[in-house]
Amino acid sequence: MDVPADNHVAKPHVHVDHQYLVMADNLEPVGAAAHPFVWYTVEELAGLSMFEDTRSLVLVLFSCVDALAQGRLSVGGEVVEPFLAAAG
């Protein structure tokens, strides 16, 4: 994804393979964002330009977001270990 210069890199650059999972109690921002972000629903994924392995990982996160939010999965355990094993 091409991004403009920011407070980390003075020239336009490319962000590759960034994924963020957010669970918030309040949808109102508490301050200005340091980077431009856009949030997508699972239904919007098919129309987005991204690496296929990234799309697969995002679908895994969407598949367990409710369990994470309810505390039924441990981020340090059941969810993360398969990704670490796959990364070798």
Query: pLDDT (tens digit, 9 = 90+) per residue, 17-50?
Result: 667 677 777 878 888 877 767 788 889 988 988 8
Instruction: Measure the CA–CA gap between 12 and 58, rounded to whole angstroms.
Output: 26
From residue 66, alpha-carbon distances to 21, 33, 47 in Å are: 11, 25, 23
Q: What is the pLDDT of residue 33?
A: 77
Indicate whether 57 pLDDT > 60: yes
Q: Tokens 């407070």, residue?
A: 7
pLDDT-derived band at 76, boundaries 50, 70, 90: low
- Polymer length in residues for the chain: 88
Find out whether 35 and 3 touch, Cβ atoms under 8 Å.
yes
